[in-house]
Structure 1
Amino acid sequence: MISATTGKTQSSAMQASVLALNKTYSPVHVISAKRAFCLLSKDIAEVISVEDGSFMNYDFSSWIEISELRSEFNERTELEDWIFSVNFEIQVPRVVRLLHYNRIPNNTIKFNRRNIFIRDSYRCQYCHKKFGVKQLSLDHVVPRSHGGGMSWENIVSACRRCNTKKGGRTPSQAGMKLLQKPAKPSRNPVLLQQVKHEKYACWRNFVSTKELLACE
């Protein structure tokens, strides 16, 4: 049983993101390290490690052995997350494969504030500047007073200044131009956001080139 020691580092390591693949190596979910270890310990999943361009498959016990060897030879890197249990040290895997899950991902993506901000790269779609979450708001491209609804195609990120300036008008009426046409993401925005970071670079082996270009 893995029991993380106290401290911010251990806590954050347990919450690190892990890409879960189905049996045919297609991305299904982004889960926490804690959830991944639970699946591994029950033999529901295996670790997929990308090493020199090849995929290596490890069951839970093998991954523990590999982790202990890497720790013994001081092969850790700053981009990795590690968990220290009572009896052993283990590296947090970046990818796991569900051994008995054959379903094709249905790409159901939650329509919510967070995913819209991620889709739009935290950038106001009118002035094109990046902002923090607290400085961003949601704007109806076609206002509700004009029949505009709540959908991926009609809601964009906007800074408060631009949202106020636009008011209850369409972009053309307000003399404002959208940075890009809003659309439903083809993949979970969280995955596409994290795959840009070097920490999760190995995820790029399981995401299409088209999707990678779309998130740049």
Structure 2
Amino acid sequence: MQTMTTPRAPRSGCLTLNASYEPLVILPVQRAVRLVLDGRAELVEAHGTRVIRSAGREMPLPAVIRLVRFVYVPRRMRRGVTNTILFARDGYTCAYCGRHRDALRSREHLTRDHVLPQSRFARRAEANTWENCVTACSTCNNRKADRLPHEAGMTLRVVPAEPHFVHLEWKVRRLTALQRKYVTQFFGADVADAL
């Protein structure tokens, strides 16, 4: 087996498309190269003129690959609430004061707030739903404490809802303009705008 030397891989990795051109996942470049070499994927787009070399072979550095065989992916991807996706869903903005994370003071940070406090549920896990969780800055979350927003004299600026499965997967990913083009082509411009 030949070993190939990989130039410094882009931080965004390699976008992997299903055989139907549906964007599936961002893979490390080394894994994408292995899939192409094994014949399980084909190169669709390369990172400019960058190449990977071995003693007897040279290939373009993959930016986008497509699987040769179709992989079934269930449409309904219900996932639990995570802060990473929650913050991305809410645009890294406090649902109460409207400040973006870039506008927070040095000791402030984004937190998860339960619109209906956890203490009002029989089981705490029931409180962690997309419809009950919003992004809040630490100041607003402390001010609201264990109360409903109107009890604390606060107004909720958004209506929390479960994000579309595409947003769950792609909103938190670092895509290059080239990779974003494939997500847009498959899912539509409105999804790309939301990303």
TM (norm. structure 2) is 0.75
> What residue in structure 2 maps to residue 214 of structure 1?
194
Secondary structure of 2:39's counterpart equals: coil
Partner amino acid, structure 1, of 2:6 = A
Q: Which moved more, 1:169-178 or 1:205-214?
A: 205-214
Pairwise CA distance, 1:83 = 5.3
CA distance in 1, matches of 2:154, 2:51: 50
RMSD: 3.0
Partner amino acid, structure 1, of 2:191 = E
Q: Say if 2:100 is the partner of 1:130.
A: yes
> What residue in structure 2 maps to residue 154 of structure 1?
132
> What residue in structure 1 maps to residue 31 of structure 2?
35
CA distance in 1, matches of 2:151, 2:176: 39
| 5+ long unaligned stretches in structure 1 | 50-62, 72-81
Q: Which moved more, 1:86-95 or 1:114-123?
A: 86-95
CA distance in 2, matches of 1:170, 1:28: 39
| 5+ long unaligned stretches in structure 2 | none
> What residue in structure 2 maps to residue 175 of structure 1?
153
Paired residue total: 181
Task: Determine what percentage of the aligned residue pairs are the same residue.
Answer: 27
TM (norm. structure 1) is 0.69
- Within the candidate set 12, 32, 35, 1:16 is matched to 12
User: In proportion to residue count, which structure has more helix?
Assistant: 1
Cα shift readout 1:26-67 (whole Å, capped 9, x = no counterpart): 222232222211211111111223xxxxxxxxxxxxx7xxx8
> What residue in structure 1 maps to residue 6 of structure 2?
4
Q: Say if 2:187 is the partner of 1:191.
A: no
CA distance in 2, matches of 1:17, 1:189: 18
Cα gap change, 1:158 to 1:40, in 2 (>3 Å): same
CA distance in 2, matches of 1:162, 1:105: 38
